[in-house]
A and B are shown apart, each in its own frame.
Chain A
Amino acid sequence: MLRTIFIIIFLSLIFVLFAGASFAAPPIKIGAIFSVSGPASFLGEPERNTAQMMVDEINKTGGVKGRKLELIVYDTQGDATKAVQAVNRLIKNDKVVAIIGDSTTGNSMAVIPVVEKAQVPIISCAAGIKITEPVKKWVFKTAQNDALAVMRIFEHMKEQKIKKIAIITVSDGFGSSGREQLKLKAGEFGIEIISDETYGPKDTDMTAQLTKIRGTAAQAIVCWGTNPGPAVVARNAKQLGIKIPLYMSHGVSSKRFIELAGEGAEDIILPSGRVIVADQLPDKDPQKKALLSYVNNYRKHFKVEGDHFGGHAWDAIMLIRDAIERGDATPMAIRDQLERTKNFAGIGGMFNYSGQDHAGLTKDAFVLVQVKKGDWKLIK
């Protein structure tokens, strides 16, 4: 008797499994490569978390066109070799229809030849201008160009009548791209860079560079890097009693920076995506709704602030979802629809892709914020 019941249960289980598998449409596979570990993990980790969170969210509310999404994430550890291997695997083994990532400019550049040959669209989450300039048919990106952040800073300096500045940049991909843009755009705003210093990503003391800067006639300092370097710069600047204004990049626009820099963070000005000041935005801001939902959602899932790096992955997932909604779930259709994206209110800004522009943002994507009493304050 027991045996019969057992067999019946067993058979019905199998039937249910098979029925489930055959009735549900197969999921749409989306690949992702992020530098989850390694030196760029501060980018890759929130990006991975956000992408997974959004895909779960979408599936909970019925998926896309009745089909579930399946996200396949590989960690590239910030290494170009691993990135190329991972993309090959996504395309040839997992047969994904679109790819998100990588987190760094270098790795994004490394995988471009592979996706172009295989004709699969990729949305990079890195900021380097080279990724989408010149425009490549299959390559898009969501991270704001560094040039846009640089222009925001220089506009503010122009208002403040600052003419001579010193820059201190980190010698990794993020810093060298910022340094290049700072030097390139300074002339346009009538600003002269009179001191150009760098520091290593693992350096723990920048007093030497700042002392050198202090000895010049610079009226302001721009520091371009990601945690923890800029926090050291901020502390060292305070230690040396440097009184001129200190500007930072969007690379440190997370609460963590204020924690690390402590009192040194006070009065620092930096361009940032709107995400860190979401609650201070006017209600008519088109991005506000998306921003608040992202911030709350991320806090609920991961117990920490969502930052705008995670936002790059949020934008990429939602852009792909919208593209599939409008068209088909094939690489070609997704690419074509991505290019027709208009007025998409994301975390990074208002996206408008076109045949000539695969970065899709204007300098309005950045706002300037200042640290006041240990919190962000929107300027203007």
Chain B
Amino acid sequence: MDNFRQLTQYVLSGLSNGAIYALIGFGFAIIHNATGIINFAQGEFVMLGGMLTVFFLVFCGFPLLPAIVLSILIATVAGITFERLAIRPLKDAKPIRLIIITIGASIFIRGAAMLIWGKDTHALPAFSGNEPLYIAGATIMPQHLWIFGITILVIIFSRLFFNHSIIGKAMRACAYNAQAASLVGIDVKIMVMLSFAISAAIGSLAGIIIAPLTMTSFDVGIMLGIKGFCAVIIGGMSSGLGTVLGGLLLGLLEALGAGFISASYKDAIAFIVLLLILFLRPEGLFGKKETERV
């Protein structure tokens, strides 16, 4: 019985963390699907979401909801600015330059956050209390339910958006073949910008809803960004559901690895799995195989 209780706790903890990774990974996938770029600055939007909310809530004394909305708006504007200033001028560059420029941007945003808000760690109050909930002998926090809920909402919304709205379809068309898309009258530039905006918004939203649990500081973006990236690679870039499954799997792996093998090596275990997937099935566990375009 006790072993069973332990196992359910690992699974539950793993899934809760996995949902966070999935949500962050989602931001990666949106930009990648529209532009073919992996945005190494994605983690910084997560950080911005958390830090901005702390700033508005704690320092400016705003109520929670306006603070959240304002933070997402600012992070979205930051995403658009970044695309406009650094990505668009380089539209035909090789991946190596794009990778470097997004790394540069992530360092820059991190540095700016450190200068503005200092190096301290901050906590947000939980949205709905701190009384743990019991599920089959295991516990989670009410905040985890928020994370699960918002992740599910984001997935449903993006499914509807990309498959059924004109703009969403146009964005997918750009990802598939930008030239052809522009020939049928789609403004590729706007679509690329939109993808950065959406992805920054989702990233900052993720940063906000996890801040009550994980706390936030100027440098949380690196590790969360990398984990989100892993989720996306494990799940496969092309499918939204795949990203979610990838995130959940990564979270489970970490929790079970920490519980049954060794907590010291849990990140190493996650990365070894990542490498294995990249080597054996680079399109991800749940992705469709892509052919290389020349």
A interface residues, Cβ below 8 angstroms from B: 37, 41-42, 45, 171, 197-200, 202, 204-205, 207-209, 211-212, 214-215, 227-228, 231-232, 235, 238-241, 256, 259-260, 262-263
Contact = CB atoms under 8 A, between A and B. Distances in A.
B267 A200 contact: yes
A238 B9 CA distance: 14
A211 B123 contact: no
Nearest to B118: A45
Contact of A198 (B14, B119, B263): B263
Contact of A199 (B3, B121, B213, B263): B263
A241 B137 CA distance: 11
Interface of B: 2-3, 6, 9-10, 13-14, 16-17, 114, 119-123, 130, 132, 139-141, 210, 213-215, 217, 219-220, 222-224, 254-256, 258-259, 263-264, 266-267
Given A208-B254, A232-B215, A239-B141, A260 B263 contact: no
B175 to A, nearest CB: 32
B215 A260 contact: yes
Contacts of B259: 208-209, 211-212
Contact of A241 (B139, B219, B266): B139
Contact of A256 (B121, B219, B222): B121
A205 B119 contact: no
Contacts of B214: 204-205, 232
A241 B264 CA distance: 24
B32 to A, nearest CB: 24
Secondary structure of the B side of the interface? helix
Given A228-B217, A232-B215, A207 B121 contact: no
Contacts of A207: 9, 13, 255
A259 B132 CA distance: 19
Nearest to B2: A215
Contacts of B10: 208, 211
Nearest to B256: A208
A200 B267 CA distance: 9
B130 A262 contact: yes
B264 A171 contact: yes
Given A205-B17, A238-B132, A239-B141, A211 B6 contact: yes
Contacts of A235: 213
A42 B119 contact: yes
Given A198-B264, A211-B13, A231 B215 contact: yes
22 contacts: A37-B119, A202-B219, A204-B213, A204-B214, A205-B17, A205-B213, A208-B255, A208-B259, A209-B258, A215-B3, A228-B215, A228-B217, A231-B123, A238-B132, A239-B132, A240-B139, A241-B132, A241-B139, A259-B123, A260-B121, A260-B215, A262-B123
Contact of B6 (A204, A215, A232): A215
Given A41-B119, A211-B259, A212-B258, 5 more contacts: A204-B213, A231-B215, A239-B141, A240-B139, A262-B130
A209 B263 contact: yes
B140 A239 contact: yes
Contacts of B267: 200
A37 B107 CA distance: 14
B9 A211 contact: yes
Contacts of A256: 120-121
A118 B98 CA distance: 46
Given A204-B213, A208-B259, A240 B6 contact: no
Contacts of A211: 6, 9-10, 13, 259
Contacts of B217: 228
Most buried by A among B3, B140, B266: B266
Nearest to A197: B263
A171 B263 CA distance: 10
B130 A263 contact: yes
Nearest to A304: B120
A358 to B, nearest CB: 31
A288 to B, nearest CB: 28
A205 B215 contact: no
A227 B9 contact: no
Given A238-B132, A256-B121, A263-B130, A204 B263 contact: no
Contacts of B114: 37
A109 B215 CA distance: 32
A235 B212 CA distance: 11
Contacts of B220: 202, 204
3 interchain residue pairs of minimum CB distance: A204-B214, A208-B258, A207-B13
